[in-house]
Each structure stands twice: as structure tokens, then as C-alpha cells.
Amino acid sequence: MPNTIAKQSYSQRAENANHPLSAYLLRLIAVKKSNLCLSADVSTTQQLLHLANTIGPSIVVLKTHYDLIANWDYNAEHGTGAKLARLARRHAFLIFEDRKFGDIGNTVQLQYTEGTAKIIEWSHITNVNMIPGKAAVDALADAAARWRERKRYEVKTDITVGTPRPESVESDEEDVTTTPTPEELGLDTYRAASAGRKSSIVSITTVSQHFEPANSPRSYEEFGHESFPGIEEPPMERGLLILAQMSSKGNFMTREYTDACVESAREHEDYVMGFISQETLNTEPDDQFISMTPGCQLPPKDVNGDAKLEGDGKGQQYNTPQKLVGQMGNDIVIVGRGIIKAADPAREAERYRKAAWEAYEERIGS
Ligand code: S5P
């Protein structure tokens, strides 16, 4: 590992991180003792929200592909993105839309902030495929800065005219408001309670008319019990990950390409949080980037931990958390089918969380 940062704790790194959302994420990791991201690759809103609600306690990031969801509700106030944002607040995780933008600057700006999904409104983090060149990163950074400025203005307006407080939420099948909070139960019992939650298809579609954008202008106190203990709401800043290395067999991302990604990231430290990569790309003393790493699985419980992991037969290659976090210095593992195809996804998520956390502890020597 080329940079001593890989030996630092997440809390130490949070203190030095330049990007407000990176600093928040690193602190969240320390609070939840989780360096796990769930890749929620399912096909309906109900499945997505159910996963977010049951696995939320084990993760710090929930990764979406909104275009996999057949019935994604685009309504900005109470659609799928807004509902997800509410669950993100309740369980304290960030939302990462894995959009892999890859077009000219003007188009990616419009895709990010306009169009159907209005990704920037509900997703704290997104990512870019840098094939079109650095201009795509520049353009996304510019769009995020303008969005942030507009939000600042909207917040002011809201406060001046007086914003109604959120009403209590209602649900016909799973009332997320009566779910005990981590504060009431303690973190471990809270996770166990979520894991035990019945896995029937849940209709959270009727949860509320009062969902907020991902970062509400309202204060932490006003949400009271809806927020997570030990950490405040995330900052309003949005973040970008650059797709610098891929997990898929035979991909075309050469060293030169990866180096260009790092160069671009250094030019936008106030927007680029880090990379999707297979190894830490922090090489200079000042680098504070976060690396999030897909292509992660654990061998089944009854199989020897050193057994070679099979790919998925469609190009995907897998490594264990031990290798990805412990040896390659990555920060967060991204796991999809390893968790969601398990007989008990919430319990499996805990198995992954513990394995990735132990790999980190071993790495920093604690
Ligand atoms: O190199 C990559 C980059 C990404 S973002 N390899 C990947 O697999 N991904 C994404 O991670 C992919 O789109 C999918 O959503 C997830 C991996 O899913 P799994 O089911 O193989 O764990």
C-alpha cells in the first residue's frame, strides 16, 4: 500500500478529509462500525425499499441503479427517491446512484439534474465513467455547485416563509415510525431486530405524502427520533466517484487511464470523494480519497475461507473483503448478489459487515 493513509483509522481520516461528505461518511463508518455498501440491484420499488429498511442498519451506503426498477416513481416529493431518502435518514446511510455517466459535459449535466429521475435531488453520491475525458467531471462538478447554491437559496426562502413541520408518517403494512430506534435498543440489538423483521413484500409505497429531499433544510432536532444517534444529518454537498478500475474480466481500464482519473480527482477535491477501484489510489501524501470496491463476495459459510471464489459467468470477478480491504487498502466493499440472493439477506449483510470490519481492523493494526 503506497500511502500511509491506509494505516489510519476512519476517524483520523475524517478529521483530515477535505470533502464535507467524505468527512461525514468516514465518521459514519466509525459510528456504525460498518464499511459495507449494499448494491440493491432489484427490480421493484417495494423490494428496494424493503432492502433499505431491513439492511439499512448494517450499511453506510446503499447503491442503486434506478433504471433497474420497473415501477420507479419519479415524483420528486413522494416518489421512490424521496422514500429512499427518508429511510437513509432513519438508518443513517448515504445513497449512491451508480449512474456511470459517460457523455459530453452538457448531456451529463442534464442527466444529473433534469430529466425523469433528477438524481441529484435524492442521491448523495453518483459516479462517472471518464471515457469522454475530464470535461465530464468538470461539468458534473459545475452542476453540483449550482445545485448547492440553489438549495442554499431555497433553504433561506423556506425559513423566511416558515416551513411546516413534517407530519407523522403512515403505512398500511410496515410502520417504519414504530420500528424501535437504535437509541432505544443499542446498535447490536437494533441490527438484530431489523434482521428479524419479517421479509414479506412490504408496501412502503403508502408510507407518506411528506417525504423530504435527501438533505432536508430542517434541522436535526426537528426530526428527533427519525435521525440516527451519534451522528448528525449529512451535509448538503454532493459527491462524485470516478470509475477508475473495474472488477469485470478483460476491462479496458489501463494504468494510464486510472492515473488520468486520479489527476482529475485532484483537480476537484471539493466534489470528487474518490473512486470505484480495486485498490486504494491514494499515492501522494495529501491524497484523501475514498475507494469503494465492487466484485466482493465471501465464500459460503461452510466453505474454507481460502477457497477460490467463482465469478458470475458474465464477466464479474470476486474477491473477499479480507483481500480488498485488508490487502488492497480499499475503504468500502460493495456487495450485491452475495447479500440479496441469500436466504436471509439481513443476516448475510451482518456477516459481510463483520468480515469487512475485521479486515480493516487488521489492516490498521488495532
Ligand atoms: O467495476 C465495477 C463497477 C461497479 S459500480 N464492477 C461492478 O460490479 N460494479 C457494480 O457493482 C455493478 O453494476 C453491480 O451493481 C455491483 C456488483 O454486484 P454483485 O451482485 O456482483 O455484487
Catalytic residue among 33, 67, 73, 98: 98
The structure's pTM equals 0.87
Question: Which of 64, 96, 98 gets mutated to test ligand 1 (max ligand atoms within 8 A of its CB)?
Answer: 98
What pLDDT is recorded for position 197? 60
CA pair distance 36, 20, nearest whole angstrom = 20
**Positive or negative torsion for Cα 3, 37, 119, 257:** positive
Give the ligand 1 atom nearest the CA of 246: 1
What pLDDT is recorded for position 113? 97
Residue type, 35: N
- Residue 361 CA to ligand 1 center (angstroms) comes to 25
Look-up of cell digits 413541520: 165
- Residue 63 CA to ligand 1 center (angstroms) comes to 10
CA pair distance 360, 289, nearest whole angstrom = 16
What is the CB < 6 Å shell around ligand 1? 39, 41, 65, 98, 246-248, 276, 294-295, 316, 334-338
CA pair distance 366, 27, nearest whole angstrom = 17
Helix, strand, or coil (residue 36) = strand
Asked if residue 354 belongs to a known ligand binding site, the reply is no
- Respond yes or no: is residue 98 known to be catalytic: yes
For each of the chain's 366 residues, which pLDDT tens digit applies?
556 888 999 999 999 999 999 999 999 999 999 999 999 999 999 999 999 999 999 999 999 999 999 999 999 989 999 999 999 999 999 999 999 999 999 999 999 999 999 999 999 999 999 999 999 999 999 999 999 999 887 765 555 444 434 333 333 234 454 566 677 778 888 787 766 665 443 334 333 333 444 444 443 333 345 678 899 999 999 999 999 999 999 999 999 999 999 999 999 999 999 999 999 999 999 999 999 999 999 998 877 666 789 999 999 999 999 999 999 999 999 999 999 999 999 999 999 999 999 999 999 998
- Respond yes or no: is residue 103 known to be catalytic: yes
CA pair distance 115, 364, nearest whole angstrom = 44
- Residue 200 CA to ligand 1 center (angstroms) comes to 26
What pLDDT is recorded for position 212? 44
Domains along the sequence of the chain with CATH: 4-150+218-364 (3.20.20.70), 157-212 (no CATH)
> b/e string for 1-13 if b means 16 or more Cβ within 10 A?
eebebbebebeeb
Stretch (H or E) spanning 46 = helix 45-55
